[in-house]
Amino acid sequence: MHSTRALKKALMIVLMCLIGLQLHGQNSTVEQWYQVISKLRNDVNHNFLKTLRPATADFEMLFLNKDYADKAMTYANTKWDGIDQVPDHSMKPPRDTDKVRLLMATKQDLLASITNGLPEDYSTLGKYLKDDVVVYGLQYVDDNGEEQKTRAAFFYVNDRWIIIPQTFKAFQ
């Protein structure tokens, strides 16, 4: 009986450590996201933004199957190929004093039509994503907390941040 109690205690400690590591990983991801947003605020000629262009392997990690990954990649490439025509301020807040809010929705959220501040069109994306995917966005708000600009969809994949603007349009 004493060894059963010790085993339960050891399992509880291991479980608590795993939960702590997962929470630390989530906090680290959020911290990295804020660093990305800070760099976007100071970006010139989309030099930093261009580092967020997804690679083929990124699509394969995000989407349920190759067909979905290919659709998303084809759509994203058309957006990224025209990046130099996008105004330099497109990812920046309207005013330097605007604050940023983190927006995020899991696949399960999107399937339940819960977008947590992301544009409503993103709810359709849930059925195409792998189970562990989170879609991130940013919302610039003024001093009164009123929305000024929203941008999505950022993904953390393959140990880096990427953005696939208006990803949902790939599946319309």
- Of 91, 153, 147, 76, nearest in space to 118 by CA: 153
pLDDT grade, residue 52 (50/70/90)? Answer: very high
* Tally of CA atoms within 13 A in the half-sphere of 40 that contains its CB: 27
- Residue 42: how many CB atoms within 10 A of its CB? 9
pLDDT grade, residue 5 (50/70/90)? Answer: low
| Token pair of 132 as six digits | 């562990």
Cβ–Cβ under 8 Å, residues 132 and 109:
no
Strand ordering across the sheet containing 147-157: 99-106, 134-141, 147-157, 160-163
Q: 111-169 pLDDT, tens per residue? A: 999 999 999 999 999 999 999 999 999 999 998 888 999 999 899 999 999 999 999 99
Give the separation between CA 54 and CA 118, rounded to whole angstroms.
Answer: 20
Higher pLDDT, 61 or 41: 61
Q: Please give the pLDDT value at position 4.
A: 54
CA distances from 128 to 18, 70, 105 (A): 29, 12, 14
Specify the pTM. Answer: 0.80
